[in-house]
Amino acid sequence: MRHRFVFLACVLCSGILLSGCGAFSGTPYGPLSLFGGGGYRDRELGQGKWQVRFAANVASPRGFAGQAALYRVAELADSQGFSYFKIVDREDNDLHGAVATSTSMSCCISTGQLAVLTAVGMQAKDTHIPCEAQRPDVCAIYETKRVLADYGPSIHAKVIRRLLSE
């Protein structure tokens, strides 16, 4: 009797894992979650300076991790009253052979995206903040409210679509 219960439990768990893999959905915008398929993690490096990481799964549109990380920086800058921010370092990667997660659990080997941005808040656009990147072309100044307005609808539309599909 006990072996039958263990067998049924294993079959049930396998079914849940496999059904999750078949129902890939893109990474929702939100804090990094073990079971949510990715998200952002940020840390303050100093007064008005942050590092934001965004991990996205294989089902996310190409470039989504970079857009979501930029949006998160804008949220942080806005919450601290900065009108502008400068990306002083940026790293965007496709993760080959990483675990891509579904809405339930991680189960399938595939690819994903990781964006890591280092940013500094600014009150004025003409404030001089040096670029820290090896490639200066990744450094750029953004208007906080504009990033929130331009990226917000598409970032939050992905969250709403995900909630409606669950």
Task: List per-residue pLDDT tens for the chain, 166 residues long.
Answer: 544 433 333 333 333 333 344 345 677 788 887 765 688 999 999 999 999 999 888 778 888 889 999 999 999 999 999 999 999 999 988 664 444 444 444 444 456 889 999 999 999 999 899 999 998 999 999 999 999 999 998 887 755 444 444 4
Predicted local confidence at residue 37, as pLDDT? 65
Predicted local confidence at residue 158, as pLDDT? 56
Predicted local confidence at residue 156, as pLDDT? 77
Predicted local confidence at residue 114, as pLDDT? 92
Predicted local confidence at residue 57, as pLDDT? 83
With CA atoms as reference, report the closest residue to 85 among 74, 75, 98, 94: 74
pLDDT tens by residue, 105-132: 444 445 688 999 999 999 999 989 999 9
d(Cα 39, Cα 18) in Å, to the nearest integer?
A: 22
Number of domains comprising the chain: 1
CA 6-12-15 angle, to 5 degrees, is 140
Residue 31 domain boundaries: 2-165
The one-letter code for the residue type at 166 is E
Whole-prediction pTM: 0.72
d(Cα 146, Cα 123) in Å, to the nearest integer?
A: 14
